[in-house]
Amino acid sequence: MTTTRHFLTLMDFSKDELQQLLTSAIEMKKDFKAGKIYEPLKNMTLAMIFEKSSTRTRVSFEAGMNQLGGHAMFLSSRDTQLGRGEPIEDSARVISSMVDIVMIRTFGHTIVENFAAHSNVPVINALTDDFHPCQLLADMMTYVEHRGSIQGKVVTYVGDGNNMCHSWMNAAKQFGFHLNMACPKGYEPDTKLSAELSEYVSLFHDINDAVKDVDLITTDVWASMGQEDEQKIREKAFKGFKVDDAVMALAKKDALFMHCLPAHREEEVSTSVIDGKQSVVWDEAENRLHAQKALLVALVKGLV
């Protein structure tokens, strides 16, 4: 019996499989730019379930599926029975009986785990409160394109110990780099995950200590989707955790700056940094398309 493979966190794929995905994403990007048509998913359907807002994730999955010859179906929980309380298990059985692959953006991580457990087709986590693995595929691809392998490098994540931080932690293990995490007190990442990955991650409460001589600095919003009510409290707590020119100057001269976007200029990052020479944020965004095309093909065609 073959079991259906899912992509709920970076830990669902082996290190080799992740490297293979990056290689194939870089190749697909080159071919796409050269105008080559590649339609391995002709007549296939991706169901995209969104319980939270999105620009990059929706556009990249929908455009990507079309470019691969298939079709993407946008399902907002507001307009489906999911929003009226139909159980996840029932929804998973029904939706997966009609499509070839499912992508979900939701709140609790157990929702995607539960959906995947009852799905006959591969399920991709397109962001939960705990993880955002698709973003990391694009980010790892972007690093490789600019600087080559990330193995052995040191990366600093600045800010909230949130879904992005957790996925950077997983990436440290899977792609072989060390992750410094500079978080305000009370906003540290999950303690269980930190303990499991203690070999690959270090926690700091002073941003200056965390960024010295590192190869890459990344950050994220202070209040994530669903935390809008905490904006004011968080602005106080995160004071001193803005990535600005002084922070970038402590890293290596050729250090890159990444942000998954959307960004709040002059909050978690200065305008001069995000719009400056070391920033690769537009490449990260574009690479969502190419990395996820590689992921879709790998999962649907059973290449992983």
State the binding partner of 55 from ligand CP, ligand NVA, none, CB within 5 to 8 A by kind. ligand CP
Which residues, numbered 258-297, are part of the site for ligand NVA (CB under 6 A)? Answer: 260
Active centre residues (catalytic): 105, 132, 135, 220, 260, 288
Q: How far is the CB of 90 from ligand NVA (least distance, A)?
A: 27
Q: Rule CB under 6 A: say whether 183 interacts with ligand NVA.
A: no
Q: Rule CB under 6 A: say whether 225 interacts with ligand NVA.
A: yes
Q: Rule CB under 6 A: say whether 261 interacts with ligand CP.
A: yes
Q: Rule CB under 6 A: say whether 290 interacts with ligand CP.
A: no
Assess contact for 8 and 123: CB atoms under 8 A.
Answer: yes
Q: Where are the alpha helices (DSSP H) in the chain?
A: 15-33, 56-67, 88-96, 109-117, 133-147, 163-175, 191-196, 207-211, 231-237, 245-250, 271-274, 281-300
Please provide the DSSP assignment of 8-44 as one string: SSGGGS-HHHHHHHHHHHHHHHHHHHTT----TTTT-
Distances from the Cα of 197 to the Cα of 101, 102, 173, 180, 192, angstroms: 30, 29, 7, 12, 9
State the binding partner of 158 from ligand CP, ligand NVA, none, CB within 5 to 8 A by kind. none
Which residue's CB comes closest to ligand CP? 57
Assess contact for 231 and 270: CB atoms under 8 A.
Answer: no
Q: Rule CB under 6 A: say whether 135 interacts with ligand CP.
A: yes
Rounded CA separation 289/283 (Å): 10
Q: Rule CB under 6 A: say whether 278 interacts with ligand CP.
A: no
Which is nearer to ligand NVA, 68 or 242 (by Cβ)? 242
CA torsion 125-131-135-136 (nearest 10°) is -120
Output DSSP code: residue 5. P
With contacts defined by CB under 6 A, name the span among 142-150, 156-164, 175-183, 248-256 that binds ligand NVA: 156-164
Which residues, numbered 54-113, are part of the site for ligand CP (CB under 6 A)? Answer: 54-57
Q: Rule CB under 6 A: say whether 220 interacts with ligand NVA.
A: yes
Output DSSP code: residue 45. E
Sign of the dihedral defined by the CA atoms of residues 99, 25, 282, 13, in that order? positive
Which is nearer to ligand CP, 240 or 262 (by Cβ)? 262
Rounded CA separation 141/123 (Å): 21
Rounded CA separation 266/243 (Å): 9
With contacts defined by CB under 6 A, name the span among 40-48, 52-60, 73-81, 198-206 that binds ligand CP: 52-60
Q: How far is the CB of 35 from ligand CP (least distance, A)?
A: 27
Task: Give the three-class secondary structure for 212.
Answer: coil
Q: Rule CB under 6 A: say whether 104 interacts with ligand NVA.
A: no
With contacts defined by CB under 6 A, name the span among 69-77, 104-112, 220-228, 292-300 that binds ligand NVA: 220-228
Our measurement of the distance from residue 253's CA atom to the centroid of its chain's CA atoms, rounded to an integer in Å, reads 26
Binding residues for ligand CP, total number by CB under 6 A: 8
Residues that bind ligand NVA (CB under 6 A): 127, 162-164, 220-221, 224-225, 260
Residues that bind ligand CP (CB under 6 A): 54-57, 127, 135, 260-261
